[in-house]
């Protein structure tokens, strides 16, 4: 269908005052504001921590959980990521958790036929504080 020539219609939210906006549009802006506030709350709760982790040897073809002291961790926090800075052939991180206040538990896997000792390194830990 062709529109007649002339001035195109303006969007409702550009031509009316806040009190004249339809309730559906006002509700949408209220919900959008709630989402922006929620995102801002989450971002301020994210904390990046570094800690020197010195794992012990992991036996051949197995996995083992080891614990390390990381000051500031609380059992109500959520771990978003634990990052080992370098690759160590045959070693992988298969799980991590906060096992107690100030205690990080990392499960290392050794996929080789011999014992491997991951090097002492500074790990990056991303935490969501609750």
Matching residue, tokens 């499960």: 107
Residue in 45, 55, 122 with CA at minimum distance from that of residue 82: 122
- Whether the pLDDT of residue 95 is over 70: the answer is yes
For residue range 37-86, list pLDDT tens digits in order.
Answer: 888 777 778 899 999 999 999 999 999 999 999 999 999 999 999 999 99
Three-state DSSP class for 48?
Answer: strand
pLDDT above 70 as % of the chain: 83
For residue range 27-36, list pLDDT tens digits in order.
Answer: 888 888 888 8
For residue range 2-16, list pLDDT tens digits in order.
Answer: 444 445 555 555 555
pLDDT at 4: 47
pTM over 0.85: no
The answer to whether the beta carbons of residues 121 and 52 sit under 8 Å apart is: yes
Residue in 78, 59, 55, 77 with CA at minimum distance from that of residue 67: 55
Matching residue, tokens 């982790």: 53
């Amino acid at each position: 269908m062709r529109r007649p020539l002339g001035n195109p219609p303006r969007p409702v939210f550009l031509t009316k005052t806040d009190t004249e906006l339809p309730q559906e549009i006002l509700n949408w802006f209220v919900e959008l504001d709630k989402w922006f506030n929620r995102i801002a709350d989450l971002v301020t709760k994210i904390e990046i921590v570094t800690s020197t982790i010195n794992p012990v040897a992991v036996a051949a073809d197995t996995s083992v959980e080891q614990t390390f002291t990381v000051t500031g961790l609380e059992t109500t926090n959520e771990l978003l990521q634990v990052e080992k800075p370098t690759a160590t052939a045959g070693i992988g991180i298969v799980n991590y958790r906060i096992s107690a206040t100030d205690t990080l538990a990392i499960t290392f896997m050794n996929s080789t036929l011999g014992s491997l000792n991951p090097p002492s390194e500074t790990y990056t830990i991303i935490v969501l504080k609750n």
